[in-house]
Chains A and B, each alone.
Chain A
Amino acid sequence: MNKYKVVIGLEMHCELKSNSKVFSSAKNAYSQIPNENVWPVDMAFPGTLPVVNKKCVRDALKMSMVLNCKQPKYLIFDRKNYYYPDLPKGYQITQMDSPVGVDGKIIIECDGKRKPVYIHDIHLEEDAASLDHYFGTSCIDYNRAGVPLLELVTKPCLESAKEAVSFLEAMRSIYQFCDVSEGDTKKGQIRCDVNVSIMDENDKELGTRVEIKNVNSFGGVYDAINYEIERQSKLKESGRYDEVIQETRRWDEESAKTIHMRSKVDAIDYKYFIDPNIPKIKITKELLEDIRKEIPALPLECKDKYIKEYGLSEYDASVIIKEKDYVDYYEECLELKIEPKMASNWLTTQILGEINHEEVSLKDFYLKPKYLKQIIDALNKKTISSKQAKDIFYKSCSEKKEPNSYITSDMAQINDKEVISQIVEKIMENSQEQIKQYKNGKTNLFDYFVGQVMKETKGKANPVLTKEIISSYLQK
């Protein structure tokens, strides 16, 4: 355990989902083919102008509200000026003075404990092109240039790598719940900058802040933070804390180290100013109220509800809120009046098992809640046994036919005592030899008799009843 107090702040960039890019009509989609989704403005051809994508603005404001931020009166975009080969215009359109949200707060869960994370601001901006480096040459792919990015900046309020990752996971899940982003780190849709400093437990002022840029996976964030804590702690321990300087480092995944990029003295002056090509747009109360209506229940709200109202276990509730798809499925089950615990059991065991096994998403999964309901209804009416229910479930999934097509009246369990007694009697009459052996102590033959009844009834005899009848027969 580290003896120093760790203070972490995060900058999380997340690509938004939209048909077109944030300031151009080019398609916003991941593509393997370079420079496929490009309009003149994405490559900054002279004379081109940005046009703000309304959907992206709505989504940005939505997230601002979800994070309990304050929204500005006007929507304003600024230019961040710097030269880089991946930046066609020589500036990035972003929000500096008047972002879509400031001073927010969101509750997250880490190791079962809830904790507020304070948000400095959240703002809408455009992504740069991507560079592919080869031996002696680099290629620029403008597909990503102009893709909408939502950048969220926390206050320095996180205390461990684990907390930082929990926050990122929570945020990714919230983005997915609000349907503003796929949040797929594999496609590079989430990228982070991390600020780390350490201090003595009783220090009043924060230690020297080190920024680590462009960490592209949550695992990377975890490792980079821990690496940096250790690096800084070692220096502090050995009385060389002055060697921890305010600097920007980058996370090198291969060597699992942070590497110096530039110190504060070399910091770039981005010469921010308001982009004159985008008139300021009033953000009305009506617009905000309209957007607020689109905000769904968030993961932790769902979890609390499932535990309190439906009596689910902490574990089951946690499993369901992991993905928006799961919650959607579950909520649909509830709407269909499937008993909540039963729905939860089916979802967390059979269904998730099946989709993991088949590697499909729950959204594309054949057995929709209405079909699950057919199985559960039949089970409740005792038309089928729980074993039959499982068989029907798998058959329905693999043959993509609705469960009702397998549930026939003929399948119904035989619960009639008379009927079973008659069958038992008939079987016993033909099994005198076995009865003798049973009575002589070969008690495992009991299962033989049950098996015979099941064979005769094609498995439909109520097994409990069958056992009762057989055992009373044998005691005669």
Chain B
Amino acid sequence: MSYLDKDLITIHDALVKKSVSSKQLIEEALEKSRKVEEKCNAFVTILDDAKEKEVTDNILSGIPFGVKDNYSTKDVLTTASSNTLKDYVPFYTATCVEKLFEAGAVMVNKTAMDEFGMGGTGKTAHTGIIKNPWDVKRMCAGSSAGSAAAVASGVYPYALGSDTGDSIRKPAAYCGIVGYKPTYGLISRYGLFAFASSLDHCGVLTRCVADAALVVDEMKGKDELDMTSVDSSNMHLYESLNKPLKNIKLCTIKEIVDMKNYPIDNEELKSHLQNFNKTLDLCKSLGIEVEQVSVKKELLEALASVYVVISCAEATSNLSNLTGIIFGKRGEGNTWEEMMMDHRTKGFSPLIKRRFVIGSYVLQKENQERYFKNAQRIRRLLVDEWKKLFKEYDAVILPVGSGPAKYLEGSIEKISTEYQILEEHLQIGNFGGFPSITIPNGFVNNLPVGVNLTANCFEDEKLLAIASKLEDNMPYKGQIAGGHNE
């Protein structure tokens, strides 16, 4: 009997009862990793020499997990799926990964991703295209594509992801699992390779809300090495899951979910939104109120541009350390300029270069006011709008994306503007640093789809409790792509 496709509590109990050993779990996770690698191309590194750990009172002890390849891990290759870092072995471990190690968790692989977290397709990793375990012709979305594929395949109960726009929450939806990004600052970013610092969040992909709560309980905490981290010692996510929920009010946004906003001939979208409405009905039957509210369309339409401007601006600066001088392959050339240029030209994929150009452009003195500063103003307006909603509602509930996972072939980087609001609204969670969680809520064309809940900063306990309640009343909790292990 296999345990890796179970939830953490079940696995922990089995370990304590000695029905299975940590050694067996690790061996099986490695074995499974190799299979998933073959099928989905989900990993940069499989740690064949991963060793079992002692089982203690800590629920995570002795249990394998995966780490997205943009978390710095000492002595373990960390590439962020980029050619610029294809041989880079860090000499320090990210704070939150260290915390999991201290809890006794065993890292068994580093998961592939869109290069440096940029991109939402899982197609830009230097190790090749990452495929969806539900249908290998489809994408996992990105950027935490490898983590999502692995968790959905039952390699282990959880893997770390990072989320700058929707990089945890969208792959979770496409792979039929849970993706949770806590409030900004809850988990230290020290050791997470920066993409856009004001938007970057650490988080986790799991197959149930309780596991997400357990893992983040372990990862969170004030870190002296990250000034933006906060003390959350009075926040107990797992313990709070079963607190009774009273008078919970959710809202959904008309401009995003109203079918009338979209072309009528899109059957997948239609099913997706109908499925979403079923989830809203479920909420109501559980005594959770749901209201539809209106948000200025202009504001929502600006969202995608705001994200592009801010994330590209920060990225172009954040990734300026990649010159091949201190780490990474030294470029060729007669001058230092030529060497840096060579390293960056050869190292980065075209998508990233395009983003650097945009970032540079919007930061230029003559453009900054018009683009960068305006983007920040609109970011503020959007966040204020959501904060206003949070005064009346406990969370905003919205569908993730415009349907199930898209085909890998034929997909283009640029999403058609017709569905842009549906595809991009999760970014508001990053603008405001709001806690945000995606859970699976059904199937469209035999492929999983997800629903997202986003709450006000530091209301993570309540958010997870609501998500957990919904999850308990839907048949998708703990589901595995291709069915459970033998």
Please report A residues at the B interface, Cβ cutoff 8 Å.
40, 43-52, 79, 81, 83-85, 88-91, 140, 269, 271, 273, 275-279
Contact = CB atoms under 8 A, between A and B. Distances in A.
Given A88-B326, A277-B228, A46 B336 contact: no
Nearest to A85: B336
A315 to B, nearest CB: 51
B365 A269 contact: yes
Nearest to A79: B317
B326 A279 contact: no
Interface in B305-364: 313-314, 316-317, 319-323, 325-327, 336-337, 340, 360, 363-364
Contacts of A276: 196-198, 228, 314
A49 B327 contact: no
B225 A45 contact: no
Contacts of A48: 190-191
A204 to B, nearest CB: 28
Interface in B75-116: 78, 80, 85, 88, 90-92, 94
Interface string B188-211: 011111101110000000000000
A47 B320 contact: no
A43, A46, A83, A90 interface centre (most CB from chain B within 10 Å): A46
Interface string B356-399: 00001001110010001000000000000000000000000000
A46 B80 contact: yes
Contacts of A50: 227
Interface string B220-255: 000011111000000000000000000000000000
Contact of A90 (B196, B224, B321): B321
B128 to A, nearest CB: 22
Contact of B192 (A40, A47, A52, A278): A47
Contact of B91 (A40, A83, A275, A278): A40
B326 A45 contact: yes
B90 A46 contact: yes
Given A44-B326, A81-B363, A88-B326, A277 B227 contact: yes
A56 to B, nearest CB: 14
B454 interface: no
* Interface size of B as a range: 35 or more
Nearest to B80: A46
Contacts of A51: 224-227
Contacts of B191: 47-48
A79 B316 CA distance: 12
Contacts of A84: 336
Contacts of A279: 227-228
Nearest to A129: B326
A46 B317 contact: no
A268 to B, nearest CB: 10
Contacts of A52: 227
Contacts of B228: 276-279
A91 B326 CA distance: 15
Given A47-B194, A271-B364, A83 B321 contact: no
Given A46-B72, A276-B314, A277-B227, 8 more contacts: A46-B193, A47-B70, A47-B193, A48-B191, A49-B190, A52-B227, A83-B320, A90-B323
Task: Summarize B's interface: helix, strand, loop or mixed.
Answer: loop
Contact of A40 (B92, B363, B372): B92
A90 B320 contact: yes
B317 A273 contact: yes
A312 B71 CA distance: 66
Contacts of B364: 269, 271
20 contacts: A40-B91, A44-B321, A45-B321, A45-B326, A46-B193, A46-B194, A47-B94, A47-B190, A47-B193, A48-B191, A49-B189, A49-B190, A51-B225, A51-B226, A52-B227, A81-B320, A83-B340, A91-B320, A271-B365, A273-B313
A277 B88 CA distance: 24
A43 B91 CA distance: 12
B325 to A, nearest CB: 6
Contacts of A277: 197, 226-228
Contact of B90 (A45, A88, A89): A45
Nearest to B321: A44
A91 B193 contact: no
Contact of B360 (A45, A79, A271): A271
A33 B452 CA distance: 55
B193 A85 contact: no
Contacts of B94: 47
Contact of B92 (A45, A85, A273, A278): A45
B363 A273 contact: yes
7 A-B pairs closest in CB distance: A90-B320, A276-B198, A271-B363, A44-B321, A276-B197, A47-B191, A47-B72
Contacts of B190: 47-49
Nearest to B188: A49
A89 B320 contact: yes
A223 to B, nearest CB: 30
Interface in B57-76: 70-72
Contact of B317 (A45, A85, A91): A91
Contacts of B193: 46-47
B227 A88 contact: no
Contact of A273 (B72, B80, B372): B372
B321 A88 contact: yes
Contacts of B91: 40, 45
A47 B226 CA distance: 10
Contacts of B314: 276
Nearest to B372: A273
Contacts of A91: 317, 320
Considering residues A84, A85, A89, A278, which has the most beta carbons from chain B within 10 angstroms of its beta carbon? A85
Contacts of B326: 43-45, 88
A276 B195 CA distance: 12
A195 B71 CA distance: 46
A140 B327 CA distance: 13
Nearest to B341: A83
Given A40-B92, A43-B326, A271-B363, A49 B72 contact: no
Contacts of B319: 90
Nearest to A89: B321
Interface string B276-310: 00000000000000000000000000000000000
A157 to B, nearest CB: 27
